[in-house]
A = this chain, B = another copy of it.
């Protein structure tokens, strides 16, 4: 991995969230001021970053151009989007789409609800494998060797009292997910958030993605979310069919 490129990517993330001063960038990256300015300068030359009139650095027009050019490369997300948007509108909870990419699972889309707390999840970032519903919904169905590769050296870190912290417990949970067809996050990462999730299948019936319904426990306990499973199954089947899966 290239540390220079990683730093540049971090800069892009920083300035996407909000425009930053070059001191902030240096501080977050842990580099010298002149190093930060060099990175910003090169990103500026490339059009990915721009210096705003107030002296802070924000995202450049070129980055939005690239996103626009690339918009047709997200076939699965594009096909899923209207369905998960509708699901979100109906249930009033946050809906996530996560996809399996080689040996990791990343959030591909998210339907937020106005007036609710923004969830921790960030599109494009990897999913925490042992606590998130979407990850379990996918991992329950991947080939054994893919599962081994993904869990090789994986740290089952405890976050809450319900976090699964051993490979054995995790495997048992995956077996249960396989059996019942859906996964959950029972406050395993943050004890005030729970969700239910189900898999999405590709044309060859392999599980390639998952959709979840996530809520604050104060808004909906797990058993209430379980009541949404028939509708969630319908949405996942609709997405699967739209990308070529046939039961």
Q: Does A111 contact B (CB under 8 A)?
A: no
Whether B45 pairs with A1 at a CB distance below 8 angstroms is yes
Whether B5 pairs with A46 at a CB distance below 8 angstroms is yes
Q: Does A211 contact B (CB under 8 A)?
A: no
Whether B47 pairs with A106 at a CB distance below 8 angstroms is yes
Q: Does A9 contact B (CB under 8 A)?
A: yes
- In the complex, how many angstroms separate the beta carbon of A177 from the nearest chain B beta carbon? 24
Q: Does A120 contact B (CB under 8 A)?
A: no
Band of interface residues on A? 35 or more
A interface, CB within 8 angstroms of B:
1-2, 4-6, 8-10, 12-13, 15-19, 38-39, 41-43, 45-48, 50-52, 58-71, 73-74, 77, 99, 101-102, 106-109, 122-125
* Complex Cα gap A12–B46 (Å): 10
* Complex Cα gap A18–B70 (Å): 7
- In the complex, how many angstroms separate the beta carbon of A183 from the nearest chain B beta carbon? 21
With beta carbons under 8 angstroms apart, the residue of B47, B52, B124 that contacts A47 is B124
Whether A9 pairs with B46 at a CB distance below 8 angstroms is yes
